[in-house]
Structure formats: C-alpha cells, structure tokens
Amino acid sequence: MASTHRKLRRKDLKRPDELTTLVEAGQEYLNTHLGEILAAAAVIAAAIAVVFAVRFYQQHRAATAANDFYQAFTALDAKNYTRAEALFQKLSQEAPGLQVGRLARFYLGTCYLEQNQLGPARDAFQAYLDGDHDAMFGSLAMLNLGIIYERMGKLGDAEMSYRKAAGMPGPEQIRAQLAVARMLVGEGKPQAAIEEYRRFLNEHPFVPEREEAMEALAQLGAGLAAEAPVAAGAPRHSAPPNH
C-alpha cells in the first residue's frame, strides 16, 4: 500500500513558526523598552547598594559605640570621672538606639553620684528609667534614686523609690526593703518601721541582713513578735529540761 505524505506548499514554508514569532516579539519589546529596563535595573542596583551601605554603617557604628563604652567603663573603674562622664554623655546622645547607648545613661548617673552631684545624677537615672532598659539595671537605678533623695533629705521621695526598688527583682532587693524601714524611722513613723522590719524577718528567715533588722527593732524598743516561722527541715530548739 502506498504511503501518503502531506505535501508542503510554498506558502507553508513562508509561514513563521511560534518560536520564531516569540523571539521576534521579544526583540521588538527590548528595542522599544530598553531605556525603561535599564533604568529599572539601575534603581534596583542602587537600592541594593544602599542596603549594604546601611548595614556596613550600622556594624561600624555598633563597633565604635562598643569601643567607646569600654573606654568609658575603664575610666569609671579608674575613678577618672571627668573622662568617663564625657564618654558616657557622648554615647547616650549619639547612640540612643543601641544597648550600650541606653546603658550609658545609667553609668552617667553613676559618675554623677560618685561625685555627689545629686541633681544631675537624679536626672540621669530618671532618664534611664523613662526609656527602654534592662530589668536588673532598672532596679539598681531605682535604688540609686532612693539614695539620692535620702542624701537630699527628701525622705518621702526616698521611701517611695526604695519601695519601688524593693518590688523589682534584682540583687539589691533586700537592701531596698531595709531602706524602706529606715526611711520610716527618719520620717517619725516608728510603728510603721517596726512592721516593715518584722515583715522583712518573716520573708527572709536566713539572710545575713537579719541581724541588722533585729538590731533596728531593739533600738525601736520592739521585740520579735512576728518571728518568722521555722522552715521545713530546719532544726528546732527545745527548752532545756528542768532538773
């Protein structure tokens, strides 16, 4: 059986295929919109360059700020308060968004307090507390505010600051609690002070500061009426037998 073949006509040979059509259309589009494409590519390249430049600047800025903080802290540790104050002041102004810039406000207050410049110290610690701050350093800043107000003779403000510090977790919480009772004594509120000392003894049955609290109670003429309960497992002392 004879095979059949589709005969190609002259006009079929001249008809462009789909691939050729797409290539020609693409070339025509490029020729028409080449300027726009190059402009868009330039914008994208510029944006990428800006991103890398910003990141490099931020890393450089963070490294510079960290070095300045180290220099300032070294000066503070050496009691070179003038240099430490200048560096911490610069950091707090130029890098307020960085952690070391925020922490610089706390140590700026420390510089002032070490020099007994109470007004500037108060303002520096308050500025630190008003901004974003670490919880532990926040409790220390509040305690320092109590110290400042106590030195100023503003016992009511000192008591309030110490109370806030006592309510904040941190290494100076016990010290702040005792300071509250001490302020009450200074304010002429002995009964309230006695209650604070007794509360302290109940809440902290084993801390070394108990001796300070008991001595204060003795000076106030008060006994240990609210003695702390004996903790589980702690030895109990019985009265000696009668002979």
User: How far apart, in Å, are the Cα atoms of 133 and each of 51, 97, 162?
Assistant: 29, 11, 18
Separation CA 185–CA 179 (nearest Å): 10
Q: Where are the domains of the chain?
A: 39-133, 142-229
CATH class (in words) of the domain with range 142-229:
mainly alpha
Burial of residue 13, with CB atoms counted within 10 A of its CB: 0-12 exposed, 13-18 middle, 19 or more buried:
exposed
What pLDDT shows up at residue 114?
A: 95
What ranges in the chain are assigned the alpha helix state H? 10-14, 18-77, 81-94, 99-114, 118-130, 135-152, 155-166, 173-186, 190-203, 210-219
Separation CA 184–CA 163 (nearest Å): 11
Q: Specify the pTM.
A: 0.67
Q: Which two tokens stand for residue 178?
A: 């005792």
Same fold, 39-133 and 142-229: yes
Architecture per CATH, 39-133? Alpha Horseshoe (1.25)
Separation CA 83–CA 86 (nearest Å): 5
What pLDDT shows up at residue 148?
A: 97
What pLDDT shows up at residue 135?
A: 87
* CA dihedral of residues 52, 58, 60, 63 (deg, nearest 10): -140
What pLDDT shows up at residue 240?
A: 41
Q: Which of 99, 97, 103 is nearest to 76 (CA)?
A: 103
Per-residue pLDDT of the chain (243 residues; tens, 9 = 90+): 454 445 545 555 455 555 566 556 666 765 676 666 555 555 555 555 444 344 444 465 678 888 998 999 999 999 999 999 999 999 989 888 898 999 999 999 999 999 999 999 999 999 999 988 888 899 999 999 999 999 999 999 999 999 999 999 888 899 999 999 999 999 999 999 999 999 999 999 999 999 999 999 999 988 665 444 444 344 443 334 443
What pLDDT shows up at residue 170?
A: 83
